[in-house]
Structure 1
Amino acid sequence: MHITLRQLEVFSEVLKNGSTTQASQVLALSQSAVSAALADLEGQLGVQVFDRAGKRLVINEHGRLLYPRVVALLEQAQEIEQLFREDNGAIRLSASSTIGNYLLPGMIARYRRDFPSLPLELNVGNSQDVIAAVADFRVDIGLIEGPCHRPELVSEPWQEDELVVFAAPGADIFSRPISLQSLAAAPWILREQGSGTREIVDYLLLSHLPRFTLAMELGNSEAIKNAVRHGMGISCLSRRAIAEQLELGTLVEVAIPLPALKRTLYRIHHRQKHISNALRRFLSYCTEETD
């Protein structure tokens, strides 16, 4: 069976107008096209839905049974058209932990104030998790803490970020002048391999040390901050991740004898991914602008 929405629309208009002539004017079709669509519908159903009384069409018991279902289907079709006309598609987003935990909440809050009912799904993991999700089309857009070199993905600079070395107040690292040697001797608490932060720390910072002592690897920034706060070592995270603790004085920045540790955050999507208007609209909220 291949009933079309056009056939159902013709049936509904013929019923409401009582003739194929009037229905053809409403639908902007020829009378012969309306009659053909109605005949096709009856042929597929195997029953007549109108009784023919001269030139008049009078709905019969079959038509009365069909009509409420037709109305429901046409209303659902109109809802679908309206849904995409207003660009109300569901958005699936994946972000690495620093971005997902410290940058996106405020951005999503601004978006939610304007579009409180639109569906939005956010998954947070490390950068390799995000890249895999984008490559597999499990999410529409990924936000990561370093470049991505997979050929099937498009990687675009998104925002700038600064990493800072930090320790607990009164930590041993502050007992003598900060040097590359003292940094190398300190116990380091770092993000796990696969993290965008770890990759950048390895490249921008640890590669300058004659050696370094890895005390612990942890899978999220909150665990690292707590470990450092309890004097278990020093670390390096995004300034955004420790801004509150620096302000409160529960963590202290370590001024290192190296250039500022700057990095670029990236937005990635699959080359074959269609960037819808709904997605572009959401991305317009993904800035650090405040109200």
Structure 2
Amino acid sequence: MIEELKTFIAVVDKKSFTKAAAAINISQPSVSLHISNLEHYFHTRLIERSNKQRNIFITAQGDILYKRAKQILSVLEETREELLQTDHSPSGTLRVGASMTIGEFLLPSILSEFMKLYPNIKLEITIENTEHIYEKFKNYDIDLALIEGTVPVENYIHHNFYKDRMVIVAPASFHYDQGAQLKQSLSNQTWIHREKGSGTGENLNIFLNSYGISPKNLITLGSNYSIKEAVKNNMGISFISSLVVEESVRNKEIKIIPLENQYYRYFSYLIHENNLPKAVELFIERLPQTEGNG
């Protein structure tokens, strides 16, 4: 049954019997046999085949089995690694997904400390925007998700672990009327923001709407670094984590436009409710418990 589940996962991932066979190094007839065995065992159709178009379609029951199969194989692998331990040092594989700001500015120091404490734990790290990390977490491609945006309420455990200060940043040469209202000063400006699915982009939209600010133009960039560089090079202004810009502000390359009230957001971690691996517990213990960066 284990091999059949591995084959089924490969077929869903590759969307092809032929590509799945190549990926897991078995023959295509063996792939077909494994899928047939699963469908017989569960008394349901898992994959619909289109002979004319040579396409396959995963049924609703197949979607359920895909997620469960990933859980089953993950637990089996964790159990195998624990049983094969030759010393008292924790081992296994920890799959961490982090959204961009967390991955670029908080995660490296956390990982460095974790690796020193637990050298026998293998780390697999994915850094993408919040939406993509959530999808990987939901599909059990990662064990732990570190995110900075909001995600749908599902069957998982959600905890805030870091309070992050958001700031408006502008080119060093930017002039504005300090006596004017924020809406008046910052409307009709070019704003630079992150792509759809980004936690930083989500917070910019919330901020603009709450102050009634109407941008003259919106430029979308795919990373925190590119936004910081765009602001520095007089392309526009932005609303971004202070973690991203603190060095450039110190170097007077860009400036922070003061807000009457500080604006914060929370970084959070997501874990699955059942069968929490020991490596995940140990990693959570290393997450910062600070209230933020000022």
TM over 0.5: yes
Give the unaligned 5+ runs of structure 1: 1-76
CA distance in structure 2 between the partners assigned to 1:104 and 1:237 by the alignment: 18
Number of the residue aligned with 2:269: 267
> Is the counterpart of residue 236 in structure 1 residue 243 in structure 2?
no
How high is the TM-score relative to the length of structure 2? 0.65
1:45-81 deviation line (CA, Å, top 9, x unaligned): xxxxxxxxxxxxxxxxxxxxxxxxxxxxxxxx99943
Shift of residue 208, structure 1, vs aligned partner: 1.3
RMSD: 2.4
Residue 119 of structure 1 aligns with which residue? 122
One-letter amino acid of the structure 2 residue matched with residue 102 of structure 1: F
- Aligned residue for 1:283? 284
String of CA shifts for 1:228-286, please: whole Å, max 9, x gaps: 100000001111111111111111101134x21111111112334x2122221122112
Paired residues for 1:172-251 under 5 Å: 172-173=175-176, 177=180, 179-251=182-254
Runs of 4+ with >6 A deviation: none
**Cα offset, 1:158, TM superposition:** 1.7
Q: Which residue is equivalent to 2:91?
A: 88
Match of 2:171 in 1: 168
Give the Cα separation in 1 of the matches to 2:81 and 2:187: 66
SS of 1:161's equivalent?
A: strand
Query: Kindly tell me: are residues 228 and 210 of structure 1, through their superposed partners in 2, closer, same or farther at Cα, counting changes over 3 Å?
Result: closer
Aligned residues: 211
Q: 1:269 to 1:210 in 2, by over 3 A?
A: same
Identical amino acids, percent of aligned pairs: 26
Q: Report the CA distance shift for 1:183/1:87 in structure 2 as closer, same or farther (over 3 A).
A: same
**5+ unaligned residues in a row in structure 2: which ranges?**
1-79
Give the secondary structure class of the aligned counterpart of 2:121. coil
Deviations along 1:133-176, one digit per CA (max 9) or x if unpaired, are: 10000000001113322323322222111100001111244698
Q: Cα 1:226–1:206, aligned 2, differ >3 Å: closer, same or farther? A: farther
Equivalent AA in structure 1 for residue 279 of structure 2: A
Distance 1:131 1:185 in 2: 34
Contact 2:90 2:121 (8 Å CA) reproduced: no
AA in 2 matched with 1:264 = Y
- Secondary structure at the residue paired with 2:239? strand
The corresponding residue for 2:35 is: none
* CA positional deviation for 1:105: 0.8
CA distance in 2, matches of 1:129, 1:83: 37
User: Are the equivalent residues in 2 in contact too, given 1:96–1:126 (CA < 8 A)?
Assistant: yes
- 2:162 alignment counterpart: 159
Q: Which has the larger radius of gyration?
A: 1
Structure-to-structure mapping, 1:5-154, within 5 angstroms: 80-82=83-85, 86-154=89-157
Structure 1 residues 84 and 150, CA gap change in structure 2 (3 angstroms): farther
TM-score by length of 1: 0.66
Shift of 1:210: 4.2
1:218–1:224 Cα contact (<8 Å) kept: yes
8 Å Cα contact 2:187/2:216 also seen in 1: yes
Distance 2:210 2:114 in 1: 40
Sort the Cα spacing of 1:79 and 1:177 in 2 relative to 1 into closer, same or farther, 3 A: closer
Q: Name the CA distance, whole Å, in 2 between partners of 1:283 and 1:84.
A: 23
User: What is the alpha-carbon distance in structure 2 between the residues aligned to residue 149 and residue 132 of structure 1?
Assistant: 11
